[in-house]
Amino acid sequence: MRSDVAQVGSTKIAVVGTGAWGVVVASQMASQGRAVTLVARTRDEAALLSSTRQSPRVPGVALPDTLRVSANLQSVISEASIVVMVVPAQSMRLNFGLVSPHLLPGAVVVSATKGLEIATGLRMTEVIASFTGTDHPICAFSGPNLAAEIAAGKPASSVVACADDHVGQLVQAILTTPSWRIYRHHDVIGVELGGALKNVIALAIGIAEGLEAGENAKAALVTRGLAEMSRLGQALGGEALTFAGLAGLGDLVATCSSPLSRNRTFGLRLARGERLADLIETSGSVAEGVPTTRAALHVASRMGVELPITALLGEVIDGTLDPREAGARLLGRRAGRERVDDSARASLSPSG
């Protein structure tokens, strides 16, 4: 459905979520003169952000003077032509359930959240669509998006995917800045799954780093991890080439190589013997790759797709497998032919 929204300059935008990524996305748009309101969880949080023009989640970065902050969700959403959801994947259903009754007719909804709902295995745009049906265009926004680097104005590229290219162009224009190049795509499924599944592989890379497995091992994990992402993505209707783009390979490289990556750091600490419960307690939250690993395994089982790295990682996360033993088991698998057109069906050929 084509959205009946205004042009870029007069479009009102609501960003729901005051985590680091939500603050950065809202700030980047506001810095380009967009009419953006950041929706805070409480009045106290809104007052703090408004008065200090600083977020404790993005230290040292000042919020643009033009960025409004409000805790009045109903008022903000009911005036916004574009609503950007930037909340944890496992709370998307709860949060969007609060947003959806107040949407303008034809308002565009953009998911900037990477993950799968653990209870259902649904992608974030599917969770959103369970409320909106076909009444609102829905976009997925993903790519190699390390929040601290984008906040600092370092060069970056991302991708917005939408079935309606007219809407995709609008969102592309609104998100683009001089240092942040936004591409658009039609493959919503592939773009979302790339962003979600790379968090799983980043956990595995962190474990390899913690075990001092070496650069060759990490390169193999990235490459075979990308094959797993592509296999599951194709089985669910995504396109193979999407996983070679920004939302797949691009995001995978950034997340697996950067010390800023929470998923990589979680994996590193798991390899050093810390328990998941302790990691969550000291970090204040769980890395998105943990629930995504579990959700991906449920979906893969249903679809008949083999995910060797993800399966072993799931055992490590559950505490039933030592990380070193996981590496040995992975190496002990029978190796088949490497195929660039890796099948989505594990039964067709060895794929480990």
Helix (H) or strand (E) holding 298: helix 289-303
- How far is Cα 138 from Cα 158, in angstroms, rounded to an integer? 17
Query: CB atoms < 10 A from the CB of 341, how many?
Result: 7
- How far is Cα 23 from Cα 198, in angstroms, rounded to an integer? 22
In Å, what is the CA distance from 237 to each residue of 156, 243, 257, 344? 28, 12, 28, 10
Alpha-carbon dihedral sign for residues 349, 209, 285, 317: positive
Q: 68: closest CA among 37, 27, 43?
A: 37
Q: 290: closest CA among 202, 186, 230?
A: 202
Read off φ and ψ for residue 224, nearest 5 degrees: -75, -30
Residue type, 130: S
Q: Looking at the annotation, which residues are catalytic? A: 198
Q: Decide if 37 contacts 70 (C-beta within 8 A).
A: yes
CA angle 307, 308, 313 (to 5 degrees): 100
Burial of 64 (0-12, 13-18, 19+ CB in 10 A): middle
- How far is Cα 123 from Cα 117, in angstroms, rounded to an integer? 7
